[in-house]
Structure 1
């Protein structure tokens, strides 16, 4: 009996790890693709709105099948769906894409993915679980690495607007991990993703139509480092790969691994984004920023062991 239980736990962990890596890799592609669109004249809000609504169009038919006519399930989880759509999806993406409009994709992402430390802090405050010494040490390493990523010594090249947006994205990412774990066993992950994408997408469109947020799009070719593509190519990839696949896989990973562990595995997104940004945009990180990224990764691993 114990062997069966252990084997089941191992299979669950492996499945969760694969989902988390798939989600992180998919999310890592979003920044470079969005940067290409914004360089061609798109506003960050327009990129996010089209991205999430395309993803919703992919996932809604699947979600309808999974609901099996139980529309009351949506009403009972209306608060979760609304918070997920407005904060975890729309808010986080707008903040991140505004950050990459002012700074390198890899740097913005490294700041955003200090979210695991925020998750640990939230769970400590929410459930009164004080952190272990290793957790405190890991957080200190993460903060030190963050200072190196920002590269304070070269203040003349630091975009404090970009940093502020990146920290806002970090808060949104922490909310994403906490909210994704809710509704497990009750609300299917695809339904949560599809509902959140619809709510977030239509909210952004509404704010754009009334003039609160800038909605600006063009049909100019999208120029990357060594090649040029039509405007619809990065949009299609943003909607299907970096949103539909990424969110469903991310929700599955969080429910299989828990908020803490899933948020730490998501650090793989930093490596994926650095590779994609280097390949598509020619953005090579400075050595001190690479060292800072290493310290952030070490810090959150230490935090995880402490937890």
Structure 2
């Protein structure tokens, strides 16, 4: 859908702003009417809400939209979904949880698969800046999964304020006052398929943002960041197929093979991580002895 907005004349950052602002306003209005308590932000969680807006929403979306202007959608998602490997590294070195060898093997396999996707033996066949943007999107995506785990706030309120915050953060770079709003009254054609621009924007806002973020945050709370990140890699397959049908963006042999290796490595790494729980620390109890030896 973002490609259709681009075909209508919107820049990548303008499309991101429309998506974030539209989704934030819809959620804000719905919650204000039906669930106002969800919009309360605990004072001690203001920093967390701000970080979520910048990293898990604005960072992921802006970097991804910029990346797909230089790379095919499927390839961009393959790179972004090396995020599970970053989750493994965070769990091991920041949370200091010892992981089984399968987790590290999976991370290595995913990195090797990524090397196949970008065809490193050819001196990097993909656009270098697009690759950097996609990798930064992967880092923000890992932050999204980690920040969505073990929430102590209402997920609907978090997503709502996250979208509004992201839209505000992106104002200086997106410059929404320069958007050609008349484009939403036209249709756009990509690869022979014509869609109303307003319809593409509505799908992008409601389905691909509001529904997707609420479902994702709720799922991670129930499954953990590790399992949630693994299941989310199915997005790569679905998006690559849709991009092939709607946009004519077919993947090459190396992208298909490398993509399968990336997903296999991510699955192996995250399954190993999810099956491992932090080991309880034994606390030595003091021995109290009295004059009678007790």
After TM superposition, is the score higher than 0.5? yes
Report what 1:152 is aligned to: 120
Report what 2:259 is aligned to: 293
Structure 2 unaligned regions, length at least 5: 274-294
Report what 1:164 is aligned to: 132
Q: CA deviation at 1:41?
A: 2.2
1:51 alignment partner, one of 15, 19, 31: 19
| Residues 1-307 of structure 1: pairs in structure 2 closer than 5 A | 33-64=1-32, 65-68=34-37, 71=40, 73-155=41-123, 157-183=125-151, 186-209=152-175, 216-217=179-180, 219=183, 221-307=187-273
Larger radius of gyration between Structure 1 and Structure 2: 2
Q: In 2 relative to 1, CA 215–167 (structure 1 residues): closer, same or farther, beyond 3 Å? A: farther
* Cα distance in 1 for residues equivalent to 2:39 and 2:142: 30
Q: In 2 relative to 1, CA 206–181 (structure 1 residues): closer, same or farther, beyond 3 Å? A: same
Q: 1:66–1:191: 8 Å Cα contact kept in structure 2?
A: no
* Cα distance in 2 for residues equivalent to 1:56 and 1:74: 19
Structure 1 residues 144-153 or 73-82, which shifts more?
Answer: 73-82
Q: CA deviation at 1:285?
A: 0.5
Report what 2:287 is aligned to: none
Report what 1:7 is aligned to: none
* Cα distance in 1 for residues equivalent to 2:130 and 2:231: 25
Instruction: State the Cα deviation string for residues 31-89 of structure 1 (Å, max 9, x = none).
Output: xx112222332111111111011111221134334343873x34332112111111111
Instruction: State the Cα deviation string for residues 141-172 of structure 1 (Å, max 9, x = none).
Output: 10111011112344474200100000010011
Q: In 2 relative to 1, CA 228–69 (structure 1 residues): closer, same or farther, beyond 3 Å? A: closer
What secondary structure is seen at the aligned counterpart in 2 of 1:229? strand
Task: Indicate the RMSD between aligned Cα atoms, in angstroms.
Answer: 2.0
TM-score (norm 1): 0.82
Q: 1:222–1:230: 8 Å Cα contact kept in structure 2?
A: yes
What secondary structure is seen at the aligned counterpart in 2 of 1:42? coil
Q: Which has the higher contact order (CA 8 A, sep 6+)?
A: 1
What secondary structure is seen at the aligned counterpart in 2 of 1:127? coil
Q: CA deviation at 1:234?
A: 1.1
Q: 1:43–1:214: 8 Å Cα contact kept in structure 2?
A: no
* Cα distance in 2 for residues equivalent to 1:252 and 1:217: 35
* Cα distance in 2 for residues equivalent to 1:216 and 1:86: 22
* Cα distance in 2 for residues equivalent to 1:299 and 1:193: 30
* Cα distance in 2 for residues equivalent to 1:94 and 1:69: 26
TM-score (norm 2): 0.85
Q: In 2 relative to 1, CA 304–153 (structure 1 residues): closer, same or farther, beyond 3 Å? A: same
* Cα distance in 1 for residues equivalent to 2:248 and 2:263: 23
Q: 2:113–2:258: 8 Å Cα contact kept in structure 1?
A: yes
What secondary structure is seen at the aligned counterpart in 2 of 1:295? helix
* Cα distance in 2 for residues equivalent to 1:68 and 1:215: 35
